[in-house]
Amino acid sequence: MGFKIGRVFTLNFEGTDLDGAEIKIRSASVQTNLELGTCTVERECEIIGEHLVSWNLEEENGAEIPADTEGVTQLEVAVKNLLIREWMKATRGISAPLDRRSKDIDSSPEEPITMETL
């Protein structure tokens, strides 16, 4: 049995116009990243739709927007672009803890370091 790749991200839109939106989307491959940089808007919508797992987006009247390619085409362009930006940020992000300082090194010098203009 092998290791299955293909993480699912819950995108964070805190502090943006989509604050409160919850979008779950599968990770993107290198090929998908490359294609998103050069494809048409129609293809962008297809790619997003192929990777969507779920979302809580609704129309003004409360009707659910389907979490698929058709639903993506119903979004405003700015919303689609923000979705792509946050998705790519999550895909390219580092999920491991970053604070792994060595315990063997004391980072503070024994003597003060003086600075002088050259």
Is 101 among the domain residues?
Answer: no
pLDDT in tens, 100-110: 554 555 555 56
Q: Which domain holds residue 49?
A: 8-92
Is 107 among the domain residues?
Answer: no
Is 105 among the domain residues?
Answer: no
Q: Count Cβ atoms below 10 Å from residue 9 Cβ, excluding itself.
A: 20
Is 13 among the domain residues?
Answer: yes
Is 44 among the domain residues?
Answer: yes
> What's the residue count for the chain?
118
pLDDT in tens, 39-95: 999 999 999 999 999 999 999 999 999 999 999 999 999 999 999 999 998 888 755
Q: Are strands 8-11 and 52-55 parallel, antiparallel or unpaired?
A: unpaired
pLDDT at 105: 53
* CA–CA dist 51, 90 (Å, integer): 13
Is 2 among the domain residues?
Answer: no
Q: How many structural domains does the chain have?
A: 1
pLDDT at 96: 47
